[in-house]
Chain A
Amino acid sequence: MKAIKSFWKNNWAGYFFLSPWLVGLLCLSAVPMAASLYLSFTHYDMFTPPKWIGLDNYAAMFRDEKYLSSVKVTVKYVLMSVPLQLSFALAVALLLNRGMKGLRFYRAVFYVPSLFGGSVAIGLMWRQLFGKDGLVNAMLAQFGVKGSNWIASPDTALYTLIILAVWQFGASMVIFLAGLKQIPADLYESSKIDGAGTIKQFFGITLPLLTPIIFFNLVMQIIASFQAFTPAYIVSGGSGGPLDSTLFYTLYLYQQGFTYFQMGYASAMAWVLLLAVAMVTALVFISSRKWVYYEE
């Protein structure tokens, strides 16, 4: 008892200053998460009290074709957009790192898309760009190519969203750029004396020393990609169409919860997503021991 008292006496100021964050954590994260974990084991339509149904929601997912197709779409999106975006970010960072003039300007300009790339306005603009009469087709027409209706075709709609994700390479690029600046210049000098060319330098020095940064970016991007929602919602008008080709996991979750009032099922989906992202992240962490190189 005394110990508790003295603990508070010594630490209350710390907790006081922490309180805004604590309130946020408890009210906005911990409590809703606990509630959704409970709801995931119930049938809950938001109007009548939740009814306990055990694991039925989780079992239902495996029989739900639309669910499975949303998993497929999301995995495809993550597998394509993350590597593409990171390579693109690294390539631009390397270009900017060559000590060019106006670096700050370019850095800012390239960073801008990642600030508002997830916004509704960009989603709407994307619809226009890749529509049948959009800018992309107008440009293709210059070369005599008749473009298709990228957004509205089930074969290409997802790729327009992947391009949108790659376009938001700015945040990763800035981090790569900071990492590149950390690599000691004398390494390059001595390797040059030993006769290494640019390509050899890149694979022998730049890439290994950059692996901690790549690792960080990779983890962040994987998590963000699994949670992508706005672009698909806006571009498909909330439907995930055409033919479910842009039905992201989160979009289907939203439909289940707010369009069909299957809040229990939606909560179960949310928990499966959380577990899946946690597992993938854990795998990346485990694999990182093999390929991430930390300088002492």
Chain B
Amino acid sequence: MKTLLTGVVCLLFLLTIAACSGNDPVPKPTDDNNAAANEGTEPDKGTVQEKVSIRFTWWGDTTRHEKYNGIADRFEQKYPNIKVVREFGSWNDYWDKLATQTAGGNAPDVVSMHQFNVANYARRNALLDLTPYVQSGDLDLSDFPQPVTDSGKLDEKLLMVAKGVTMTGWVYNTGLLDKLGVKYPEFDWTWDDFIAKAAEIKQAFKSDDHWGASDMSSNLTILQYYVRQRGKQLFTPEGKLGFDKQDLVDWFAMWDKMRKDKIIPDAETNAQYANVSLEQGLFVTQKVGLTQIPVNQIPNHQKYITDGNVQAVRMPTNPDGQNGEFIEGAYLSVSAKSKHPKEAVQFINFFVNSEESINIFKVEQGALGSSKMNEFVKTIIDPPQQRAVDFIEKTLKLAERSPLPPVGRSQIESLLKDTSDSIAFGKSSIEEASDLFMTKARSILQ
């Protein structure tokens, strides 16, 4: 009896140590993957292949989760020796979790990556350079146009592979504009045209709580277009601020005038709608006529709009300036600490290059990286998806690769939001607020 109890105490002690060490890399398997989570214990009898499991993680909504689960299932069918353990969450949760996992040395093998955040990981050496795998042929990028491949590079290291390439544009709902009797905007238009069109829509609404366009003064992506059109950059390749105070003053002045003319929503309305889901947003509920989105989201918006088509036009241009277009997209990376980099690369290769995968993926996150797969996908997509792809193809010709943002990007994004809010709520003048932005941004990026 006594020995038994001593045994139990010892066991408990061991458990304590195990629990405290907290370095338990075995993730919880998701619903349909309960079988054989243990890696490497049961070698296949017939073949010499070792059974391995890799972890794949992504952000998105329920539709995307279904799609990605389907792709992982097909991959497992094709490569029975590899098991794909899935983890996913919404955009915000995803990045919080990934940061924590990476810090704990427990990052998933295949990581969904985004331009906005890649610097956080790349500049801290958390991502694997995939160049050797391209050279060995494990990762086939021969059908990828060079600019698309290059958009995943930092310091000549290939850190991510595009699963979808997208561009930002302004969208309108043909049903709403027809109803209001407003002519559709032209594909090529200037900022002045944009303001005039938004004013026209506002007038046609004849209502206090309907507006011509969304307020995008706090949107870093659009600001990036704006300064690029002036031949500048948001961030220099060295990670410093690439524009001047005057650019920012002009930017805020443009939006402020629209706000005072009631062409765009007031500050309070903006704050109220800042974090609502897509189907509750100002555009889908038809409270604004024009809004800005990455165009791969046209189908997501179309899903909730039944009285017309969601159509995209190019970002307004600066008649005296240059094209602002730059490539955006969603990517796949392998974490530097992955124990199975070869299998992880195999998965990425399957994801971006196989018809089995594209059949499910379609254009979920934009036009595909591979031109060959783009030809294939055109045969299976519906009209809203087709419109997104057409838009991307059209604007991609105007686009350039933009330097990957620095580590402090998310802080700069919050700072722009704070600055824009303080102007919109009338707490500070455009001049003061822009001054403060420049000072603070410089200290963030030092």
Contacts and interface: CB of A to CB of B under 8 A. Distances in A.
A244 B275 contact: no
A258 B100 contact: yes
Interface in B84-105: 92, 96, 99-100, 102-103
B211 to A, nearest CB: 14
Interface size class of B (residues with CB under 8 A): 35 or more
Contact of B427 (A27, A131, A243): A243
Interface stretch (A45-53, A78-86, A171-179): A45-53
Interface residues of A, number: 34
- Residue from B22, B99, B270 whose CB has the most chain A CB atoms within 10 Å: B99
A158 to B, nearest CB: 13
A46 B12 contact: no
19 contacts: A16-B5, A19-B16, A23-B16, A27-B16, A45-B407, A46-B99, A46-B100, A46-B102, A47-B124, A47-B126, A149-B269, A149-B271, A239-B414, A241-B274, A241-B421, A242-B271, A259-B96, A261-B99, A261-B407
Contacts of B268: 132, 148-149, 152-153, 242
A154 B266 CA distance: 13
B34 interface: no
Contacts of B417: 239, 241
A237 interface: yes
A260 interface: yes
B346 interface: no
> Chain A interface mostly helix, strand, loop or mixed?
loop
Contact of A46 (B5, B103, B269): B103
B127 to A, nearest CB: 11
Contact of A16 (B12, B271, B408, B411): B12
Interface in B263-278: 267-272, 274-275
A26 interface: yes
Given A258-B96, A259-B410, A26 B272 contact: no
Contact of B120 (A19, A239, A255, A261): A261
B410 A260 contact: yes
B1 interface: no
Contacts of A19: 12, 16
- Residue from B96, B120, B268, B418 whose CB has the most chain A CB atoms within 10 Å: B268
Interface in B12-45: 12, 15-16, 19-20, 22
A260 B20 contact: no
